[in-house]
Amino acid sequence: MNMMKENEGALLLVDDEELILDIVANLLEDKVNKIYKAKNGEEGLELIKKHSDIVCTVCDIRMPIMDGIEMIKHVRKLGNEMPFIFYTGHGNEDLMLEVVKYGAFDFINKPGLEDLEEIFLSGMVMGEKIYNLPDDQKENSALEFNRLLEKLGKN
Amino acid sequence: MSSEKAAPAILICNPDSKTSSEISKCLKENNYSTVQVHNGIEAQIKMSKQKFHTVILDMDTQKHTAFEVIRYIKFNSPSSRIIFTYENQKLMDELNSDNDFAFKLGIHFVMKRPLDFKALLNNIESNNLAQSWKNVKKIADVVNETEKSIQDEEFTRIAINQYAHSELAIFDLYLRIGQNRYLKILYKGCSFDNNKIEEYQKKKVEFLYFKTKDRGIYINFVNNLIEKYLDQGKINKRELLNLNKGLVEKYVEEIFFKGLNPELYEEGKKLAENLYRTIKASKSLGRYLDQFEEEEKNGTSYIFVTSIFAGAITHQLEWAGPVAHKYVIEGSLLHDIGKIKLSEDVRYTKLESMTPEQFKEYKEHPLWGMQMLAESSFISEQVRQITYQHHEWVNGEGFPNGLFGLRIFPLAKIVSLAGDFSEFIHEKKVSPLVAIKEFIADRETIFRYDSSCIKSLITSFIY
Ligand SMILES: [Fe+2]
C-alpha cells in the first residue's frame, strides 16, 4: 500500500481521553493533510457538519455526552457514509453489535494500537473514493467481469 | 524465519532469588530456557520484549503486585500460561474463599511452595504441544501389530495420503478394523516406517487413526513442518496444499469439539500465516484447487476451501494490506463456529430444504459465533465481525442485519464471497474453474458481492 500524503481529505479523531487523541494524532500527522480532534460525539458531529473536507473518522465507542453509536447514527442521518473506524476493547461486545449496523469500516483493538497505520490509510482511501463513485458502476463491473472471464477461457 | 525454534521460554517471577534459581535449574535441565526476575516491573519489561510460553508467578511479588502482572499478561500476552505459586496458606484461603480464584483471574495452575518440581514440569510439559513431539525419545522398533479394543470416541482420523510424519512416530498410530476395534500399527518413539504405510495404501486403507488427545500435538507438528517447507521452498505446491488441508481439518475439529483456548488460537494464527504464504507461493491457485478431487461434503473441507479463496481474493485486492490478510484468514477459519449451537436437524439439512423455522434458526449462527468469540479476550474485533457479517450481501438481502454495501465490514465481504463460492462448488459438484464461470454468469448472484472482490476472485484463476 502506498504511504501517502496525497490524501486531500481530512481525518477526524474522536476520543474522550486526550492522551489517546494526542498519541494517535502524532502517529498520523505526517500521513494526512489535516486532523480535527473532538472530545465526544457531539463535538465530532459539529465538526463534520462544519468541515466537508473530513472523509474518515476514528472514533471511540464509550464517551460522555454523546457516545460513538449516537454519533454515527446522526452522521448517517445526514446522508454521510464516510468510513468510521472504531476503537474496541474487551467488554464492549454489546455496543459493537449495535454500532456495526450503521457501518463500521474497521477496528482498532485497544489497549494496543497495533495495525493503526494500515487501517487508517485504507479508511482514508475508501473515504475519498466514496465521493467519486460513478452511478453506472454496476454495469461497468459486469463488463469487466466478462472481459476477465474471456481471458480465463483462453488460459 | 528458522524452523529450528529455540526452546520454549519460561519467565520466573519470584522475590526470593534462591527459589527462583532452583526452579530455573530444574527447567533448564529439561531443555527450557528461563528468565528470572524478582519484581513485577521487571517482569513486565521482560514480557514486552519477549514472548513467554509460561510465566511462573509468585503471590509475594511486589512493585507491581502479582495481580497487576496477571492483568498485564491478560492484555498483552494472552497466550502465555500462568502458573501461580504461593507460600502463605492462610492468605490463599482468603483469596480463594469462593474456590474460583484461579478461574476468575485466568490462572492455569496453582502450586504451593516449597514446589514439587516434578509436578511443575509435568504441568508445563503437558501444555506444551511443541515440546511433546520434540522430546519424543527413540525406542526399539516394535514389529508386531496389536489389536486393541478402544472406544471409537477416543479417536480422530486422517486420510492416509494426508498424514504428515517425522522420523519417529510422535504418538501411537492405529488402523480401525471394526466398531471399537483398532490395530496399533506404530508405537510412539519407533522409527516411522513409510513402507508399511505404503503397503496399507496399496491395500486400499483410506484412513489412519490416532487418539484425539494427541490432535493438538499433531496440529503443532504439521504447522512447524509447513513452515519449514515454506522456508526451504522445496516442496511442490500440491503437496503443500494437501498438508494445509489436513491441518485445517484437524484444527477445525479441535475448535469445534474442544473449544478455543489461547494456545490453540496461536496455532490458528500460525496456520493462517502458513496458508497465506502458501497462497502467495502458488501462482494460479485456482488450477491447484482444480486438481482436488471432489469429496463428500463435510464442514472442514468447506472451511479449507473458503480460507484459500478468501486468502486468494485478498491477495489480489488493491485495498487490502498484510494486516487485512491476517484477519481474513483467521476469520475464514472461525466464521462458521456458531454452527456448533445449531440443533442437529438444522445443521444437517440443506439450505434449500429447510422449513421457515429451520431457516430462522440457521440465520442465528453468525450472531452465536460472534458471541462465542466475544468470550475470548484474545480474539480481535475484526475476526469477530467477519464472523458476525459473513452472510451479509452488498444488495442488502443478506442476514442477520441486511446491511448494504458500504455498511458491511469490508473484510466480511471477502469471506461472504469466498464462503458462498465454496458452497456453490460443493452444491454443483463441479471443479472451481467450471464453477467460477457459472457463478459469475448469474447476474443476480454477482450483485450480492463487492465487485472488487469478484474481480479478484476471477483474477486469482488467471495469473
Ligand atoms: Fe455461515
Distance B167 CA to ligand 1 centre (A): 40
The answer to whether residues A84 and A119 touch, using CB atoms and an 8 Å cutoff, is no
Containing H/E element for A59? strand A54-59
What was the pLDDT predicted at B413? 95
CA of A40, closest CA in chain B: separation in Å? 22
**CATH among 3.40.50.2300, 3.90.1150.10, 3.30.70.1290, 3.40.640.10 for B9-127:** 3.40.50.2300
**Nearest by Cα to B175 from B161, B190, B155:** B155
- A55-85 pLDDT tens trace: 999 999 888 999 999 999 999 999 899 999 9
| Protein fold of B235-459 | Hypothetical protein af1432 (1.10.3210)
What was the pLDDT predicted at B3? 36
- Dihedral angle sign, alpha carbons of residues B336, B339, B345, B346: negative
Does a cis peptide bond (omega within 30 degrees of 0) precede residue B410? no
Report chain A's mean pLDDT, rounded to a whole number. Answer: 81
A4 CB near a chain B CB, below 8 Å? no
B324 CB near a chain A CB, below 8 Å? yes
Give the start-to-end residue ranges of the domains of chain A: 10-153
Could you tell me the pTM of the whole model?
0.75
How would residue A104 be classed by pLDDT, with cut points 50, 70 and 90?
A: very high
Interface of B with A in 61-90 (CB under 8 A): 75-76
DSSP string, B298-313: -HHHHHHHHHHHHHHH
CA of A137, closest CA in chain B: separation in Å? 9
Q: Which residues contact B321 (CB under 8 A, 6 or more apart)?
A: A1, A118, A121, A122
- A13-42 pLDDT tens trace: 999 888 778 878 887 888 888 999 999 999
CATH number, span A10-153:
3.40.50.2300
Which of the residues B74, B315, B330, B381 would you substitute to probe the A interface, choosing the one with the greatest number of A C-beta atoms within 10 Å? B381
Which has more confidence, A46 or A140? A46
- Full pLDDT tens readout for chain B, 463 residues: 333 445 678 999 999 989 999 999 988 888 788 999 999 999 999 998 888 889 999 999 998 888 888 888 877 777 788 899 998 888 888 877 766 666 667 788 888 888 888 888 877 876 677 767 777 778 877 777 888 899 888 898 888 887 888 778 888 889 998 999 999 988 888 888 778 888 888 888 889 999 888 888 888 889 888 888 888 877 777 778 888 888 888 888 888 777 777 777 778 888 888 888 887 776 656 555 655 544 444 456 788 888 888 988 998 888 788 888 889 998 998 899 888 888 988 888 888 888 999 999 999 999 999 998 887 777 889 999 999 999 999 999 999 999 988 899 999 999 999 999 988 887 877 777 788 888 888 888 888 999 889 988 888 877 6
What was the pLDDT predicted at B323? 83
Give the start-to-end residue ranges of the domains of chain B: 9-127, 136-212, 235-459
Fold match between B9-127 and B235-459? no
